[in-house]
A and B are shown apart, each in its own frame.
Chain A
Amino acid sequence: MSFDLQRIIESKREMRRRLAGRPVAEKLAMLDALRDRARTILKAATRLETALLRESQPEYRVNPRKD
């Protein structure tokens, strides 16, 4: 699989141009959607951070063998 980075960059630029050219009312509607997504990502990131902070150290206790 090969990537043409220049083509990828140009297609991104083209998408941004297309979005910039949309009517203002439509772009403001997109802001609402973007904000909701950003909030979802922030919430997920906060949950992940909390989970990582709460993660306890693994226990390495060796139980004595009962023969």
Chain B
Amino acid sequence: MYQHRDPVAASSLFSVGKKIDVSVDQIISLINRMEADGIVEHYAIGGAVGATFYLEPVATLDVDIFVAVPQKPGQVLLDLRPIHDYLTARGGVVEGEYIVLAGWPVQFLPPTSPLVEEALADAVTVDVDGTPARVFAAEHLAAVALQTGRAKDKARLLQFVEAGVLKAEHFQAILARHGLVDRWREFERTFLRTMP
């Protein structure tokens, strides 16, 4: 159980009682154990939950966790069954593409592009009240949002820009490596010209 320390900043805005169940950090602990047990080589949190490490929290219904899984020689397709087996043995419930852990639908995603592979390899470790959590770097989250390009991804990218958390040089280098420079220019033309 987690208790807010600052009654003004958080509890008044998200007052759901004096105590709040922090289930996301329970998920992080479980994934850390899964990594230590060798089920995944490494992991990183992406999506809206990943963005929350850098931005204000945004409502989301699921948790996206990108994973690199050990592969046997000659294996072509990634097999996520060991993850499912490991987690269902620890109380997880499979629901379609998701595994429900601590009340959250969690989706495990293999890296599907060189950009996501790089994001996974370069993920940063953040301390969450004593628990290490691996999360995509802000610049990678922003680049993935640009690449994915749905309306909500564009909104998230704007949040990153507005929050001023992107290191420009690092971000531009990622865009150049993954052929996203033109898309970024288009994004700038469309959304950032009139920004105060």
Contact = CB atoms under 8 A, between A and B. Distances in A.
B72 to A, nearest CB: 35
Interface size class of B (residues with CB under 8 A): 20 to 34
B142 to A, nearest CB: 14
B163 interface: yes
A31 B10 contact: no
Nearest to B27: A28
A51 B148 CA distance: 36
Given A26-B4, A28-B52, A29-B2, A19 B13 contact: yes
Contact of A35 (B4, B6, B60, B129): B60
B57 A30 contact: yes
A33 B56 contact: no
A27 B13 CA distance: 12
A66 interface: no
A23 to B, nearest CB: 8
A24 interface: yes
B9 A29 contact: no
Contacts of A24: 52-53, 126-128, 133
A51 B24 CA distance: 34
A10 B59 CA distance: 21
B77 interface: no
A27 B57 contact: yes
A17 interface: yes
Interface of B: 2, 4-6, 9-10, 13-14, 16, 20-25, 49, 52-61, 104, 126-129, 133, 162-163
19 contacts: A17-B56, A17-B163, A20-B163, A22-B6, A22-B10, A24-B126, A24-B128, A24-B133, A25-B25, A26-B2, A29-B4, A30-B57, A32-B21, A32-B23, A32-B24, A33-B20, A35-B61, A38-B59, A38-B60
